[in-house]
Amino acid sequence: MIAFEHVGKRYGGRFEALAHLNFRVARGEMVFLTGHSGAGKSSLLRLVMRLERPTRGRIVVAGHDIATLHSSQVPFYRRQIGVVFQDHQLLFDRSIFHNIALPLEIQGMEPRESARRVRAALDKVGLLHREKALPIELSGGEQQRVGIARAVVNKPALLLADEPTGNLDPQLSADIMALFEDFNRIGTTVMVASHDLALIARLRHRILRLRDGRLVGDEGAR
Amino acid sequence: MSASRTGQTPLRGARSQRARLVSRLRAWGRHHRAMALDSLHRLVRYPLGNVLTMLAIAIALVLPAALWLTLDSARLLDAELTESATLTVYLANDVNVGQAQRIHEAVTAQPAVEQTRFITAEEGMAEFQHSLGLEDTLAGLETNPLPASIVIQPDDVAPAAMQTLAERLGKMVGVDEVRLDLAWIERLRHLADLGRRLALALGVLFGLGVLLVVGNTVRLSVESRRREIEVVMLIGATHAFVRRPFLYSGAWYGLGGGFLALVLLRLGGQWLALPVASLAESYGAAFSIPSLDVTGSTILLSCSTLLGWLGAWLAVTRHLASIKPG
């Protein structure tokens, strides 16, 4: 699903955020990406999302060599991956329902089908009763679950999450991780960046460890 | 068997491809409709500021439109004047009535002459006194200083033809002078030509003004919705998708400005109608304040809508390049 080949990323010509990255993530796998802050977790996810291009090497995601992807093709590429952000990136002037419907609206899905999918996603994250609420009326954990519902509403083959439990207490964090495991169980490839080592050690999935932009550990690979 | 199967597959493929195209077109139309309404809704939500923007557009449109209208009616006036273009032949003072009669006949016989009117010295004097309101003053004159004259309406009112005719008539015996009332028609034409060019230049300038007004307004609204744009781009919105609501609001601004311009033109026309009518009457001309007809109004509205759309497009496109999601 994801293949990094000799990938390096420099910012401003000097600072080396990532270097010599080589790894593969198989379809249907669940992978944690860990390391201290500044180790390059977010940079790596940004490369996969094609928010940035690598300065070296090749990245292939779902069969696309994304470094050579034309910029007009990038939106269509991004529709194939669901992303959960640490700060949720919700739109505060529209309801939970419309936030989650946004990816479907962008794809031009027919409204009735779209509403059905939005409710299914809301049900999955346990917020069906809050569809008319505004994001500001929800707690941090609920907002994060809305972010997850939006990321999975168009059934992406790849789900990325950047510190999804960053601001949550341990119980809520465990709930969120359990949700990701559910999506992984139905075949979605999941990649979660997190520095919550205690939590991810308990979950027994593959762990990629980054330090100073280099891959220093790859444990529990299938 | 296998032949029929391979024959069927591409057909089915084509059909599903067409179905996909139809559903994509529907989605496209749906989003257009939604964005047209959404942007209109946003306009209505903040009426004052948006009406002011439209008013700025309207004022920019009114000036060139009004100038154009004036020139358009001047052209009608010009046609009327050309029809009444005449030559006046003044006879020498020592020509007696019999000679004058013969000259009149000779002039009428000229091939290029359509119609003539003979004015005796006395008639000329009376007309002169009447038109100037100087009856009393001129009555004190002992002798009539005016000669007899012949007013000629030529066949061909083209300036060159009239010039030739005038030269020919001027060589006749007993003719003192031939006056050609062409110069001021020519001047009027040059003036109208100048005005048209001025209107065009003003139109281009004020059109640019409309672009700037809309562009600036849209730039601000893009800035105020920056976060929203970043989020939708993160989850796969194309530039066209992001641009669409702003293009519609630009078009709405243009359309609203166009309507206001029509209203302003109409009001201005009514305000000026009375003095213009009196002025025209005093010149004996039938001239009234022109108003835009359906075609003219449609052209104005289309132009303003197009300008609004274009201004929005320029502003959003320039601005989107600076917005990087994430």
Per-residue pLDDT reduced to its tens digit, B132-148: 766 666 666 777 778 88
Task: Name the residue among A209, A212, A174, A211 with its Cα closest to residue A23.
Answer: A209
**B101 compared with B8, residue with greater pLDDT:** B101
Of B26, B27, B234, the CB nearest to A89: B234
**Domain span at B241:** 34-80+187-320
B287-313: average pLDDT = 88
Percent of chain B with pLDDT over 90: 28
Q: What is the count of structural domains for chain B?
A: 2
Residue with tokens 């990038």: A74
Q: Is some CB atom of chain B closer than 8 A to the CB atom of A91?
A: yes
Could you count the other beta carbons within 10 Å of the beta carbon of residue B204? 11
- The ipTM is 0.88
The dihedral region occupied by B100, where left means phi > 0, alpha psi between -120 and 50, and beta the remainder, is alpha
Report whether A208 contacts A47 (CB < 8 A): no
**How large is the angle between the packed helices B47-83 and B239-282, nearest 10 degrees?**
40
Q: Clarify whether residues B282 and B299 are in a common domain.
A: yes
Q: Flag if A106 and B325 touch (Cβ within 8 Å).
A: no
Report whether A1 contacts A158 (CB < 8 A): yes
pLDDT for B4 equals: 41
Q: Flag if A108 and B236 touch (Cβ within 8 Å).
A: no
Under DSSP, is residue A126 helix (H, G, I), strand (E, B) or coil?
coil
Distance from CA of A75 to the nearest CA of B (A): 4
A107-121: average pLDDT = 92
Q: Clarify whether residues B202 and B292 are in a common domain.
A: yes
Q: Which of B154, B181, B208 is the last residue of a domain?
A: B181
Chain B residue with CA closest to A86: the answer is B326
Q: Which of B113, B148, B181 is the last residue of a domain?
A: B181
Q: Flag if A108 and B24 touch (Cβ within 8 Å).
A: yes
Chain B residues with CB under 8 Å of A118 CB are: none
Q: Which of B181, B209, B227 is the last residue of a domain?
A: B181
What sections of chain A are H helices per DSSP?
41-48, 74-78, 96-107, 111-124, 140-152, 170-185, 197-203
Chain A residues with CB under 8 Å of B235 CB are: 78-79, 83, 102-103, 106, 150
Q: Which residues sit opposite A32 in a β-bridge?
A: A192, A207
Q: Flag if A89 and B27 touch (Cβ within 8 Å).
A: no
Asked which of A104-113, A207-216, B118-127 is least confident by mean pLDDT, the reply is: B118-127
C-alpha gyration radius of chain B: 34
Chain segment B55-92, per-residue pLDDT in tens: 999 999 998 888 888 877 776 666 666 666 778 888 88
Segments making up each domain of chain A, as ranges: 29-55+75-219
Does the pLDDT at position B5 exceed 80?
Answer: no
pLDDT, mean over chain B: 83
- CATH for A29-55+75-219, options being 3.40.50.300, 3.40.1230.10, 3.40.50.1260, 3.10.20.600: 3.40.50.300
